[in-house]
Structure 1
Amino acid sequence: MKIKLPRIFLIILGIGFLINLLQSYFTPLIFDEAYYWHFASDMAWGYFDHPPLVAVLIKISSFFFDGELGVRFMSCILSTATLFILWCTVDLPRKKEYVIHFFVLAYSMTLLNAYGFFTLPDTPLLFFTALLLYVYKRFIESPDVLWGIIMGVTMAGLMYSKYHAALVIIFILLSNLKLVLNKYAWLSVCIALLCYVPHFIWLYDNDFVTINYHLFDRPNDPYNFTKYTLGFFVNLVAIFGLTFPWIYWGLFKTKANDKFTRALLFLVYGILIFFFLSSFNRRIQTQWIIVINIPLIVIVFRFMMENETAKKWIYRMGLVNIIIILYLRIGLVYEPMSPIYYETHGNKELAEDIKAEVGDMPLVFENSYRGASMFGFYTGNNTFSLNNESYRLNQYSIDNSEATVQHQKILYLSSRSSDADVSFTKNDRRKIYGKYIDNFESFRKLKTILEAPINFNLEQEQTFQLYNPYEFDIDLSKLKFNVAYMTDFKIVKDKLPIKPTLKDPNISTIKAKDTLTYSFKFPKPRKLNDPKYVRIGIMENRINYGINGRNTKVE
């Protein structure tokens, strides 16, 4: 199909692309981007928190540019392509008369602006959602082998972007259940699964660490209406800013007159209902619902062409949104113009201070994958996040970063001032403290295994297994153990030392790839008399206890 684009469309699209390029070049990284840059430093078919596509984008960007633009270049490409695809998805001849209205609608959406240049998993998610809707529209019109293959590859792209992509696919399917009888739809499913096999293999090889963390091991808080459910509704306003009344008016007035519109509506309402229900269990982050922006641009743009009131007010309020957003975007670069101290501010300067102090010495951050990745990017030093039981597991828990700092003199950075040798101050006056360690040694990959469920009885002797995944033996005298008692929400309330024993007291080391069985008794809790989950942790070389075991349910 030949697509003829209005000249004004190309001009505005090009200006938006150039603005995003400039923004990418001058804006320091945010912490999540630095974390995904760390992903890209060791390419794999999966990562602790997300599928690998965000790392692929950064890797490709690095082939063209250095620095921040070497992280964000592909995001500028994808965000521009997303708007192009959405324009092509609207098959109304009159749309050529409303080019400026289309861009005001799209550019006025707050988070959509951020993902125009930030490199985050949501960036490819938005692109592939737009592409899937376009492909699905063509598939409805002409279901054949070609469109079936294209739709399958597109669904795989979605799933390689972010696991939330499954919701996009499911709600489109639910909008047209007759697809289960369509052989070309099944072809697309088979193609998608085939493309996704490498990630399934990665998950298997890594003990489904991503699934286990997101679904089972992640701590949560007790339900709080203001924080959870009310916060969800605040997010529904925040993603659209001042245009939100007319955006939702356009949604409510749109009827499912055809299969494609039905898919758009199912996608929007499905996402909203799913996360509304989820808000009774956990806090909903704003970016989790951003995918509704894609179908809503199509829905609301069509509505604007039919409703003069909506067109007028979305145009007016959209321009106000854009002015505010541009001001805030300048503030990301130029701190004096920012109304808040944002995470793009101060990190480059702090990294320069640390680099001047330690040179190329490795940096170990206590409980901060954000700090390890950010300062790894800006200093070029080897970095590692040493996670203890007060934090959470992350990519540094499963990759090879620990090996790059072992048995070297390192600077150990934390928020604790005790025993600090040096300190550094950010321009927001927050301090970070450093302690030199001459021969750093950690074993954070050691695993403790409790059989679930476990009978919590203070008098009964229990057992756990200690597994050494390393390629070298470890002296057991360097290790101490504790047990963490947790609530229903996996929040640690008690952390008490234990002295487990081996059947053979003559064993002094654990061999590489070997497993030992310890016996112990649960110590009496101090704060939590009825723990719901327990976990065994390990302290090595007097470093704080780590997260070495799964949260094990108590009978």
Structure 2
Amino acid sequence: MSEKIPRQFYYFLTAFFVLNLIQSAFTELIFDEAYYWYYSQNMAWGFFDHPPLVALLIKISSLFFNGELGVRFMSCVISALNLVILWLLIDRPEKNRFIPHFFILVFSMTLLNAYGFFTLPDTPLLFFTSCFLLTYKHFLKDPKYSTAILLGIFMAALMYSKYHAVLVIVFVLLSNLNLVKSKYAWLSVLVALLCYAPHFYWLYENDFVSIKYHLYERPNDAYQFEKYTLGFFVNLIALFGLTFPLIYYALLKTKGKDLFNRALLFLTYGVILFFFISSFNRRVQTQWIIIICIPLVVIVYNFMLEHKQVLKWMVRLGIINAFLILYLRAGLIYQPLLFDFHYESHGNKTWVDGIREEVGEIPVVFENSYRNAPMYEFYSGGIPTFSLNNVMYRKNQYSIDTSEERVRGKKVAYLSKYINDNTFSYTKPDGWVYKGKYISDFDSYRKLECTLKEETVSLDGSDYHLQVFNPYNFDIELSKLKFSVAYLSPYKNTLGLKRIAPKPVEENLPFLTKKDTTHFLVEIPQYDTEKVGYIRIVISENGLYPGLNSKPIPVN
């Protein structure tokens, strides 16, 4: 770790860092960044979709800067540090004569380049993967308590970045099963678990909401080869652009001649195989496989140093890749460079100002948009927003935090595509049309929880035992609530709704008691038009579209 790095390396590194700072300052946020910025406004040990490290990066960035740089500054810092660590992972002494070639290689990797400034969960995931691999490399040479503890800390940091990080840990373990006999390896695991304990406790306190959503509740579609498996292979190419043939050629030709190289190969092939199998069940997003960029930088650069013909062509194609990436990066700032293509970093200030000009300083409720709600709050200077999620959408951070209380009882501007009595409308630069109206005394009860005592249902008119838990600190009048059954496809997409009238077990019940469960009998109507795989019991309040009040319940 004490290796002396040549001055030329730092020249390139400084240029990379400054470029990312400039890009960060002049590129508007993308929607996911706005969502994670919203996370950082109320720090916790976990959030609905991801562990908390991405929010921590933004929180630290905001201590130094405002605006976009106040979201991205730490991403620029750790992305630069990541290149240093990747350099230290390469042992060959001749590498000091090929520093520009190293930077051409890493700069030409499309998503590795993008995550040099975007603040997303993959940004710390990439950084801590490099940290983990460098520490593991030293652990293999000299296992001792200090290295084992550091390895455990980095394992926890990986898992605090993104749940996919478990693949990094598992595939490195599989590359060296003798680790199960090492007391130092077990110490690393213990340290990791201790460091990760606060997040485990957060999951427990929140009924494992993140795990349940990712594994069981998110909608899907029927398998399509072009969209799923072929799309997965397209993603493998998109990661590297024009250099992809050389990168995968280097991978195929590299052998695991020692335990560390074996770990790099297991990690790369393991992630590819895992998501290839996953592609038969769901669409694999490009960023899910970005983690292979870290071991491949080491594998490919070592291969380039051994095979000068490959190095020559990697430089040629990498330079073309780099110029294309620079052009696209400029297009993130100035849309006309991308012709008619509208990316999500374009026009956000414009549409926020347009809506704000109509509604003024009052809070804004977006129906079914955890993306637009935080973007509006960010660019409006902190005007409170809320994403009210209905049965046609999905749960998110707004479903579990206290943001509902920020708009309760207030006059709000309500923006949705599910309303017909709108008093104004607004068309965003991307063509999305919002219909809006004003609600003088906004109220919603999206945290009401519906469960059936029965684990499955039949659509035969039978009665079922419905339990409705009121988590709020106030009673809710039953007259304000309308119950429905939402019918879901086998892939958990909502097909339609039917109104139901649950009968309270307790007669003459006027309200749902605060912090208590109320019992009903309910009949589930038939739904014959399409095949039904699941149902939800959902609740509409104050004339709003029904929420996501129960988990999907299987139909037998």
Question: TM-score surpassing 0.5?
Answer: yes
Q: What residue number does 1:151 align with? A: 151
Quote how far apart the aligned CAs of 1:417 are: 6.9
Comparing 291-300 with 426-435, greater Cα deviation is found at 426-435
Residue 355 of structure 2 is matched in structure 1 by: 354
Report SS of the residue matched to 2:227.
helix
> Whole-Å Cα distance in 1 between the matches of residues 479 and 325 of structure 2?
57
Query: Structure 2: which amino acid aligns with 1:503?
Result: V
Paired residue for 2:398? 396
| Mapping 1:99-248, distance limit 5 Å | 99-248=99-248
The residue type equivalent to 2:344 in the other structure is E
Pair 1:190–1:450, CA change in 2 (3 A): same
Distance 1:472 1:416, change over 3 A: closer
Give 1:470 deviation, angstroms. 0.5
What residue is the counterpart of 2:37 in the other structure?
A: 37
- Equivalent residue for 2:417, pick from 415, 418, 429: 415
- Checking the alignment, whether the CA contact within 8 Å between 2:459 and 2:525 is kept in structure 1 is no
One-letter amino acid of the counterpart of residue 535, structure 2: V
State the AA in 1 paired with 2:139. Answer: F
1:511 deviation in Å? 1.2
SS at match of 1:64: coil
Alignment-mate amino acid for residue 6 of structure 1? P
CA displacement 1:100-156 (0-9 Å, x = unmatched): 010000000000111000000000000000111100000000100000000000000
Q: Which moved more, 1:430-439 or 1:374-383?
A: 430-439
Moved more, 414-423 or 328-337: 414-423
- Backbone CA RMSD of aligned residues: 1.1
Amino acid corresponding to residue 545 of structure 2 in structure 1:
N
Report whether the alignment pairs 1:479 with 2:493: no
Q: Distance in 2 between matches of 1:526 and 1:388?
A: 23
Q: 1:424 deviation in Å?
A: 2.2
Contact 1:493 1:527 in 2 (8 A): no
Number of residue pairs the alignment of both structures matches: 554
Give structure 1 stretches of 5+ with no counterpart. none
How far, CA to CA, are the matches of 1:451 and 1:527 in structure 2? 27
In structure 2, list runs of 5 or more residues that go unmatched: none
Aligned residues: percent identity? 56
Secondary structure in 1 matching 2:29: coil
Secondary structure in structure 2 of the residue aligned to 1:227:
coil
Tell me the amino acid that sits aligned with residue 121 of structure 2: P
The one-letter code of the counterpart of 1:553 is: P
TM-score by length of 1: 0.98
Q: Equivalent residue for 1:514? A: 516
The answer for the alignment partner of 2:290 in structure 1 is 290
Following the alignment from structure 1 to structure 2, what is the Cα–Cα distance between the partners of residues 455 and 58?
45
Give the C-alpha shift of residue 425 in structure 1: 2.8
In the alignment, is the contact (CA less than 8 A) between 1:494 and 1:527 conserved in 2?
no
Q: 1:319 to 1:452 in 2, by over 3 A?
A: farther
State the distance in 1 between where 2:31 and 2:243 align: 29
Residue in 1 aligned with 2:379?
378
1:436 aligns with 2:414: no
Deviations 1:431-452, CA, capped at 9 Å, x for gaps: 3222111111000000001235
- Measured after TM superposition, the shift of residue 356 of structure 1 is 2.3
* Contact 1:452 1:552 (C-alpha < 8 Å) held by counterparts: no
- Cα separation, 2, equivalents of 1:453 and 1:420: 40
Would you say the 8 A contact 1:452–1:553 is kept in 2? no
Q: Which stretch has the larger CA shift, 414-423 or 119-128?
A: 414-423
Counterparts of 1:457 and 1:429, CA distance in 2? 40
- C-alpha distance after superposition, 1:1-29 (max 9, x if no partner): 42211111100000000000010000000
- In structure 1, the partner of 2:367 is 366
Q: Which residues in structure 2 correspond to 1:449-528 (within 5 Å)? A: 449-528=451-530
Return the alpha-carbon distance in structure 1 between the equivalents of residues 398 and 429 of structure 2. Answer: 27
Length-normalised TM-score, structure 2: 0.98
Matched with 1:304 is 304
Separation of aligned partners in 1, 2:425 and 2:457: 46
Contact 1:363–1:384 (8 Å) recurs in 2: yes
